[in-house]
Structure 1
Amino acid sequence: MRIYHWVILWLCLLAVGCNSVTPSETVTPGITETPSATFVLPTPVQKTTPVPDADDAVRAYLDAWKADDYASMYIMLTSVGQDAITEEDFTNWYRTVATEAALSSVDYEILSSLVRNTRSAQANYRVILHSVLVGDIQRDTVMNLSLEDGTWRLQWSDDLIIPELAGGNYLWMDRHIPARANIYDREGTTIAAYAEAVSIGIIPGQIDPGTEDALLADLQWLTGMNPNVIAAMYEDFPPGAEWYLALGEVPLEKIQRRYDVSNGYNDNGLLMFPFESRFYFDNGIASQSIGYVSLIQVEEMEQYLRQGYNRDEKVGRQGIESWGESYLGGTRGGTLYVIGPDDQVVTQLADVAAKPSQAIYTSIDRDLQLAAQTALLKFRGAIVVLERDTGRVLAMASSPGYDPNAFEPSNYNYSYQLEDIYSAYSGQPLLNRATQGQYPLGSVFKIITLAAALESGSYTPQTTYDCQYDFAEISGIPPRHDWTWDHFQKDGKTQPSGMLTLPEGLMRSCNPFFWHIGLDLFNQGLTDAISGMARGFGLGSPTGIEGVGEQPGQIPDPGDGLEAINLAIGQGNTLVTPLQVARFVAAIGNGGTVYLPQIVERIVPPDEDAIYEFEPIIQGTLPISPETLKTIQDAMVSVVENRRGTAYHILGSFSQNYYSLAGKTGTAESGSGEPHAWFVGYTREGRDNKPDIVVVVIAENAGEGSDIAAPIFKGMVQYYFEGRRNLLPWEASVGVLATPEPEEE
């Protein structure tokens, strides 16, 4: 019994000792307490790393594909995948698919995704390949992913693009390419077409002196070049030199009845070599406006393959050839195959037929264009001929020009002519001076200043000014001289113009009068009166012509009196293009309507109606009153027909007895060398069967406008109405300079 009591006591002491009691707590013996709360163990916290959303990884990969960002795509592969394929091979795989299928873009849709476990996932997605050749190709496929370092990465598989590419299969497109369409002038005369042709050249050292004249006569028949011009091309060659001189190319049909060139021709220094290609007739009609084709370059290959081109195709590089690529090249088609590792067809994915190309008829008058090109021989410059009342471009010549056949590698003259084109001394023949040449307008700009003066309200047609040799209204700068002073220094006879009304100031092209107007308007606070008027006439911005590249020019606002007087006569920082000038001169002549210059007459599919035909497009009206317009028109007539007009000695009798004209001379300082020679004008015939035209001529560093540009203007007007022209003052025959060559001034 005593043992039992000791056991009970020991158990009690053990129970008390097991209670959690802090040293500060007091335990009262003998009192039984009811616990105020039941002791609860804390809830276990399980620490886990969340698995990222697999959809995000799938979307990132497919978005990178859409952006052709193959480097980012490769980074998203698993380490095993990157071991299986190098980044270069991976990139080439996707690029090859894109180029072979001619993909313009890729779209996708994630259909579903499943995370199998913490280490792997799978996504089902739909891909739509947009091919420019065969349309859309849509496939559903699967992407497997693995979790590496907390990031979902894609398991590489060659069916990630479409299922058919599994097992080493690849795509191959049989491209259907329509023949390139022709380019014509307005009447259907061929400018550019596929043709059998012949390269022509000579080795002067092999020419028998006894038959040289006969050979030169043959060359004139072959090439259309004057014998004297050809002889001058090799007159400085050393005697007996075996140097080849390329003369151009002609259609085979022209010469095959007279010469057998099937295996080439070499006799008495005359060499001819046949070739077939896109051929530009007459060694280039309006070359800078029509353009040329050349082979796709290595750096362009991927871009053009994705547009559906073949590797060995030629594409338009300038002018209509470039602008009209989608018409001239037609709509390509193709048959897309899946090819197995054994290079055998596995299946056909799509097949779309090509559609024929569409011919472009330009508004160019072929004969008038060639006349313009001939008139500019020996000058750097441009001629623009527009229909005055429609904006239709009849001729757009830029000198020096180039032979577009020079870009054809099968042309024997290819390397010789390209060397000339890209020579530092060639005068930039690829530059279209009619639309990209930017020049000070010189005295032609006085038309703008006259308009600004009248519209300002400070001047009337009766306002007068005493035009003397000098202008000295700005203190601190030396007096400026009128052109009459310069002439007096040469001839000792030319007198200043004297008292002039405002229209007479334009007729006489009095510099001091227009300097005075520029300074006066500036001092009145009308600082942008002239520059704003110039912009209103369309200067300083592109005309908007389609098919031909152009530059905007520059019309600055004057910041001081000196800049104001320079602007007033078209000098200083003023820059314009000949086409801009032709557009506003046409508007003056037609009553104030500004027409968009257009060079495309119509676009015609084979055996179908035209899908486009020329219609005049009005861009606006000149920002002047009818009274101001009439004053300008009358003043421009007086430039030509008044005995004191600056162009009377060239055009007076011609305008009064043959074709009624209005115009303005211009001589623009260029900063170096002789000034640029300008003449602008329009006809006033009003014939039903022969629309009136505008002609703008600029000859760079050639001298005075009345001496150089005005005679060319006259020749172009005569050719337009008569189909022929008289000789220019410096010609021995049409296109041949007189000997000795006169100074261009």
Structure 2
Amino acid sequence: MTFTQRKTSPFNPTENMRTMGKGMRAAILFLLGVLMLLGILGGRLFYLQIIEGDLNQQLAENNRIRLIAKPPERGRLFDRKGNILASSRLAHVVYLWPIAQSKDKWQPIIERLAQLMGVSAQTISDKLEQEGYNSPNLVRISTAISPKLVTVLSEHSLELPGVKVEPEAVRYYPNGDVAAHLLGYTGELTAEELPKLREKGYRPGDVIGKAGVEYAFENMLRGEWGGQQVEVDAFGKVLRILGQKPPKAGNAVKLTIDLDLEKAVEKILGEQQGGIVAMNPNNGEILAMVSHPAFDPNLFSGKISEATWKRLQEKDHPFVNRTLQVYPPASTFKVVTMTAALESKAFSPSDVLPTYPYLDVGGFQFWDHNKAGFGTIGFYEAMAYSSNTFFGQVGMRVGERTLAEWSHKYGYGEYSGIEIKEEETKGTVPDPEWKQKVVGEPWYVGNTLNMSIGQGDVQANLVQVSMMTSGVANGGFRIRPHLLLEDNDAREWKQSLNISPTNLAALQKALKSVFEFGTASSLSSAEIAMAGKSGTAQDPPRPNHAWFTLYAPFEKPEIVVTVFAENAGGGGGSAIAAPLAVQTVEAYMQIKKQGNSPNNPPVPVPAQN
């Protein structure tokens, strides 16, 4: 059988129509798909550009534009005459710029940086983690570094992308350890401090006041951050600077202290462990505040080596401000006892009492310091000779509650109001309730006797003793000690103790008698009439403490000086502390004659190391 193959003509219209229909359908379907896809893309584009255009534009700008924050220069500290107490010097500081690298890329960079700087890589990583790897803020990872290290980091800069060595003003104290406890020091924020201060604009690595007026006046000294707005590429590299806001330096702060007097008092105290406070009794201005041993606050403007830190700790607690720590005030407290006796009307200024070698109370013997007594005497002789048996009898008759009442009126057992309150211990004014609560024992008559002579559980600091002395010197007012030089209304820092004029005159005469014929008679001066009180506090098994507090000139007081010699032993307050107090008054009078033009040393360039 023969089969004949049918040939289709290319000109067959029916068959051609079927073939064309299939192609057109495919083309139409393709076109519809493209149109649908374009519609979806267009709709999405419309949504992103029109509906959320502003938001997305902002996000794009945030990815392209960065703000590099710049810290402000800390405000300077001046003494009352304009002498610089704290300023700034130029140094170099190491920063990391978190957004410059991804988290993974940062790790080898940090390891290399730590190796070059000789620090812990973990410490650097912790600071970067605190700020966050996407942060545009520079993260400080060092305080001032040496010029040698600046050179080393510059030479290895290609290995350290995202690491910046920037010039910055760091704290500088031109007088070294002079007024160290009063001024305090600055240091980096700790991990514990950061959460509390972040809402105030602080960042990891920020430097803040840590002690003294640096801490107390932080808000005034800090200043405001500025920065540069820069455009960066996808790798975080700066393409151009778009604008900048200069940092605003902190405010200058003028203090009440006199640098010349501060230096003189430092020399007067010498190597004696203890402190000296000089204060204006009329307005509470602190003229000098010296505590020894001290430290150089410049050490904290850079990295302290372990060896340096250990050496500082080996000294006798150099960071403790002894002018604000409490000790038994000893016989200086007899001013409170005499005030309580006269104002309670239990005694009059003319009353006399017999004195004895000792008083036997409850089977305990309370000795007079000369072991013999002083015969029958009145308040003036008792203050001049510092008779324990006289004031012990007075205190027992007056009672512990009246003694406590006048202690508080003078400022004992309370914070003095000085601005560096974080370093102040307010001390103790004991009473029966206090003893039962703290010691778990009832009050005995012997406690009252001990209290009346400033021993036992009574504790006070040098500023509080100065406040008491000022109250007698200034006509019967309790003043608020302060360090900020200002012209406040007198009602803000001065309140009446309500001591009668007769009793006040008796107190003044009693303190003057200390210099006229009492424990400080060998130190009396024909040029400067002074009034004051010595004190010797027991501190078994260690040697006794020595106190002396005075005011001068007697007729028109300008200065109160309180000296505390810790565990000085020897002859007590009149032999050890009194000469230092008198020398301070003499230095004050000499400096008063000098001019007030400041003499500020130049800021040094850090040495190569």
User: If the length of structure 2 is used for normalisation, what is the TM-score?
Assistant: 0.68
| 8 Å contact kept, 1:320–1:548 | no
Distance apart, 1:683 and its partner CA: 0.3
**Does residue 722 of structure 1 match 2:597?**
no
**Does residue 664 of structure 1 match 2:533?**
yes
CA distance in 1, matches of 2:289, 2:507: 26
CA distance in 2, matches of 1:168, 1:460: 81
| 8 Å contact kept, 1:169–1:338 | no
- SS where residue 528 of structure 2 aligns? coil
2:464 to 569, 580, 585: 580
- SS where residue 182 of structure 2 aligns? helix
Aligned to 1:193: 87
Question: Map of 1:144-183 to 2, 5 A cutoff?
Answer: 164=58, 172-183=66-77
Query: CA 1:663–1:566 in structure 2 vs 1: closer, same or farther (change >3 Å)?
Result: same
Question: Map of 1:22-33 to 2, 5 A cutoff?
Answer: none
Aligned to 2:376: 499
| 8 Å contact kept, 1:164–1:338 | no
Aligned to 1:697: 563
Aligned to 1:708: 576
Query: CA 1:374–1:196 in structure 2 vs 1: closer, same or farther (change >3 Å)?
Result: farther
CA distance in 1, matches of 2:65, 2:457: 58
2:352 to 454, 459, 464: 464
Distance apart, 1:302 and its partner CA: 5.0
CA distance in 2, matches of 1:584, 1:349: 61
Matched letter for residue 697 of structure 1 = V
Aligned to 1:446: 334
Aligned to 2:596: none
CA distance in 2, matches of 1:623, 1:338: 69
- SS where residue 717 of structure 1 aligns? helix
Structure 1 residues 526-550: Cα deviation after superposition (integer angstroms, max 9, x where no partner):
x401011101111110111114532
| 8 Å contact kept, 1:677–1:702 | yes
- SS where residue 601 of structure 1 aligns? coil
| 8 Å contact kept, 1:545–1:597 | yes
- SS where residue 260 of structure 2 aligns? helix
Question: Map of 1:330-479 to 2, 5 A cutoff?
Answer: 330-334=223-227, 342-343=235-236, 354-409=247-302, 415-423=306-314, 426-435=315-324, 437-472=325-360, 474-475=361-362, 477-479=363-365
Distance apart, 1:585 and its partner CA: 0.7
CA distance in 2, matches of 1:350, 1:450: 70
Structure 1 residues 557-576: Cα deviation after superposition (integer angstroms, max 9, x where no partner):
14220111111111111111
Matched letter for residue 327 of structure 2 = Y
Q: CA RMSD in A?
A: 3.3
- SS where residue 506 of structure 1 aligns? helix
Structure 1 residues 603-655: Cα deviation after superposition (integer angstroms, max 9, x where no partner):
xxxxxxxxxx566543412242222111110000001112xx11112x22x2x
| 8 Å contact kept, 2:415–2:421 | no
Greater Cα shift, 349-358 or 399-408: 349-358
Distance apart, 1:276 and its partner CA: 8.3
Query: CA 1:460–1:307 in structure 2 vs 1: closer, same or farther (change >3 Å)?
Result: same
Structure 1 residues 230-263: Cα deviation after superposition (integer angstroms, max 9, x where no partner):
xxxxxxxxxxxxxxxxxxxxxxxxxxxxxxxx99
Q: Which runs of 5+ in 2 are unaligned?
A: 1-50, 92-149, 152-167, 433-442, 593-609
Question: Map of 1:308-319 to 2, 5 A cutoff?
Answer: 308-309=201-202, 311-319=204-212
Greater Cα shift, 310-319 or 537-546: 310-319
Query: CA 1:682–1:343 in structure 2 vs 1: closer, same or farther (change >3 Å)?
Result: same
Question: Map of 1:110-125 to 2, 5 A cutoff?
Answer: none
Query: CA 1:408–1:178 in structure 2 vs 1: closer, same or farther (change >3 Å)?
Result: closer
1:285 to 158, 165, 178: 178
Q: Which has the higher contact order (CA 8 A, sep 6+)?
A: 2
CA distance in 2, matches of 1:163, 1:466: 94
- SS where residue 708 of structure 1 aligns? helix
CA distance in 2, matches of 1:303, 1:510: 53
Query: CA 1:672–1:173 in structure 2 vs 1: closer, same or farther (change >3 Å)?
Result: farther
Aligned to 1:146: none
Query: CA 1:168–1:384 in structure 2 vs 1: closer, same or farther (change >3 Å)?
Result: closer
CA distance in 2, matches of 1:325, 1:536: 31
- SS where residue 543 of structure 2 aligns? coil
Q: Which runs of 5+ in 1 are unaligned?
A: 1-139, 142-158, 198-261, 264-274, 486-494, 603-612, 725-745
- SS where residue 539 of structure 2 aligns? coil
Matched letter for residue 503 of structure 2 = T
Distance apart, 1:177 and its partner CA: 2.4
Matched letter for residue 324 of structure 1 = F
CA distance in 2, matches of 1:330, 1:555: 41
CA distance in 2, matches of 1:669, 1:505: 20
**Does residue 329 of structure 1 match 2:202?**
no
More strand by share: 1
Distance apart, 1:671 and its partner CA: 3.3
Aligned to 1:294: 187
CA distance in 2, matches of 1:640, 1:170: 78
Query: CA 1:501–1:163 in structure 2 vs 1: closer, same or farther (change >3 Å)?
Result: farther
CA distance in 1, matches of 2:364, 2:215: 51
Structure 1 residues 318-357: Cα deviation after superposition (integer angstroms, max 9, x where no partner):
1111122222221224467898865479999998654332
| 8 Å contact kept, 2:293–2:316 | yes
Aligned to 2:544: 675
Distance apart, 1:409 and its partner CA: 2.5
- SS where residue 579 of structure 2 aligns? helix
**Does residue 566 of structure 1 match 2:465?**
no
Query: CA 1:512–1:443 in structure 2 vs 1: closer, same or farther (change >3 Å)?
Result: same
**Does residue 512 of structure 1 match 2:400?**
no
CA distance in 2, matches of 1:432, 1:171: 49
Structure 1 residues 282-321: Cα deviation after superposition (integer angstroms, max 9, x where no partner):
2222111101112233444455554334544422111111
Aligned to 1:552: 426
CA distance in 1, matches of 2:381, 2:555: 26
| 8 Å contact kept, 1:320–1:547 | yes
CA distance in 1, matches of 2:266, 2:368: 33
**Does residue 528 of structure 1 match 2:401?**
yes
| 8 Å contact kept, 2:73–2:169 | no
Structure 1 residues 266-287: Cα deviation after superposition (integer angstroms, max 9, x where no partner):
xxxxxxxxx9842212222211
Distance apart, 1:721 and its partner CA: 0.8
Distance apart, 1:414 and its partner CA: 5.3
CA distance in 1, matches of 2:202, 2:586: 46
Query: CA 1:189–1:615 in structure 2 vs 1: closer, same or farther (change >3 Å)?
Result: farther
- SS where residue 422 of structure 1 aligns? helix
Query: CA 1:715–1:660 in structure 2 vs 1: closer, same or farther (change >3 Å)?
Result: same
Matched letter for residue 564 of structure 2 = I
Query: CA 1:380–1:172 in structure 2 vs 1: closer, same or farther (change >3 Å)?
Result: farther
Aligned to 2:509: 634
Count of residues paired in the alignment:
452
Structure 1 residues 671-690: Cα deviation after superposition (integer angstroms, max 9, x where no partner):
33111100001002667xxx
Query: CA 1:629–1:175 in structure 2 vs 1: closer, same or farther (change >3 Å)?
Result: same
Structure 1 residues 61-86: Cα deviation after superposition (integer angstroms, max 9, x where no partner):
xxxxxxxxxxxxxxxxxxxxxxxxxx
| 8 Å contact kept, 2:187–2:209 | yes
Query: CA 1:434–1:166 in structure 2 vs 1: closer, same or farther (change >3 Å)?
Result: same
| 8 Å contact kept, 2:358–2:373 | no
- SS where residue 338 of structure 2 aligns? helix
CA distance in 1, matches of 2:493, 2:199: 38
Percent of residue pairs bearing the same amino acid type: 30
Distance apart, 1:372 and its partner CA: 1.6
